[in-house]
Amino acid sequence: MQERLDLFIMIDACGWEIIQQRPRFLQDIAPHRRKLESVFGYSSACVPSILSGRWPDEHQNWCYFIHDPQNSPFASLRWLRWIPKAFTGRRIVRRYLTKWVKQRLGFQGYFDLYNIPFHHIHLYDFTEKKSPLKPQGMNRGQNIFDQLQQAKIPYFVTDPSLTEEINRDALDNSIRSETIHFAFQYWAGLDGLLHRVGNQSPEIDTKLSEYERWIDRTVALARKHYREVNVHVFSDHGMANCDIHLDLASQIETLGLRIGFDYNVVYDSTMARFWFFNALAKKRITKALQSVNEGRIMGDDELKQFRAYFEDGKFGELIFLVQEGTLIVPSHMGERPIRAMHGYHPHAPQSYATLFSSTTDVPEDITHIPHIHRLMLRAISRPAASTHDHALAA
């Protein structure tokens, strides 16, 4: 029997407002729950922040697509603009193209072509070429896996290319073999479900009950092989129902400006990020956005407050954020509406994340999702009674 195992389990989109309606969830395994403030952005920012303990302006993982034609890896895809959009715009076609492009370009992290138009795809770069779930996977700085490797602590980490069930069983097998002292399990299924059905569906209870059974099983197994088992279950953000749809692109297109000559833009699901190439484009677009009632332009001071201000304008020279419950559609993320979304203002009600712990020994200053990294560091700084030097279970 080994001395100690620290389990960190991330349930994507398991927000505080969702959990407030379900007080019995994880009450036996991890009864100590806490509301956490998320970071401004999507999972592309949240997950790296959790794994590194730093903020987007530090680790430089914020949004996926940026304007950078000089470094764009997508120039060879421009020929796809000649294929009818009725075909290339289909989600199943995009999935196959995404898989082919990711393999061809050697991207290691999460990658999706989404709805980026092939006519302009040569103008964009993609920022997550490495995987934050691996050592040396950050755009800047270290993550917990670098630190585990340096400390020579054997660990388990989710393989996102495999199903949740396969990763569940892989962790259990590592526990049985007593080859790890640390585990980071990442389940994204709830996020996908909430996008599809919203945050009030009875299907949420079914999914959470399934997760609870999995966690119960894993913890019971761990207690047979480790004298001490510490459990932290947490999320990266919540999820808001989308009842208002905003066709922002159509409003901007009426201004008579040209993408690639006057400006460029990424229409994410909840924000639009603009780059300007002349003063007229900036003036016209800024004026147009000021009249859009469903959102507002984020000021530099506010972006600095949420650690998402980038002085070089890498992720956008102007950030327009919509109100919670509004979905930009069509967007570069999709042509059709989805039921729920995240990526709103960090203080919007449905944005807050959740932390569940099996121990009361969680410092009071763990208040934001990057602080979860402190719990991870604390776990690996307390050496187990017996540490193996065999290969990392990554």
**How far apart are alpha carbons 308 and 279 in whole angstroms?**
24
**Residue 341: closest CA among 206, 237, 233, 201:** 237
| Residue ranges, CATH 3.30.1360.180, the chain | 243-337
Q: Which of 93-102, 210-219, 236-245 has the lowest mean pLDDT?
A: 93-102
Taking the CA of residue 385 as centre, how many other CA atoms within 13 Å lie in the half-sphere pointing to its CB?
A: 7
Are the CB atoms for 282 and 323 separated by under 8 Å? Answer: no
Q: 243-337 has which CATH code?
A: 3.30.1360.180
Question: Would you identify the CATH topology of the domain 2-57+132-240+347-381?
Answer: Alkaline Phosphatase, subunit A (3.40.720)
User: What does the DSSP assignment read for 52-102?
Assistant: HS--HHHH----SEEE-GGG-S-GGGGGGGGS-HHHHTSHHHHHHHHHHHH
Tell me the pairing of strands 182-187 and 318-322.
unpaired
Q: Count of CB atoms within 10 A of residue 75's CB?
A: 11
Whether pTM exceeds 0.95: no
Residue 85 — pLDDT band, cuts 50, 70, 90?
A: confident
Q: What percent of the chain has pLDDT over 90?
A: 89
| Residue ranges, CATH 3.40.720.10, the chain | 2-57+132-240+347-381
pLDDT at 373 over 90: yes
Residues 88-112 pLDDT 10s: 777 788 888 899 999 999 999 999 9
Q: Which of 23-27, 207-211, 284-288, 389-393 has the lowest mean pLDDT?
A: 389-393
pLDDT at 390 over 50: no
The confidence score (pLDDT) of residue 40 equals 98
Task: Specify burial of residue 368 (Cβ count, 10 A radius: 0-12, 13-18, 19+).
Answer: middle
The confidence score (pLDDT) of residue 383 equals 53
**How far apart are alpha carbons 72 and 61 in whole angstroms?**
17
**Helix, strand, or coil (residue 286):** helix
Mean pLDDT of the chain: 94
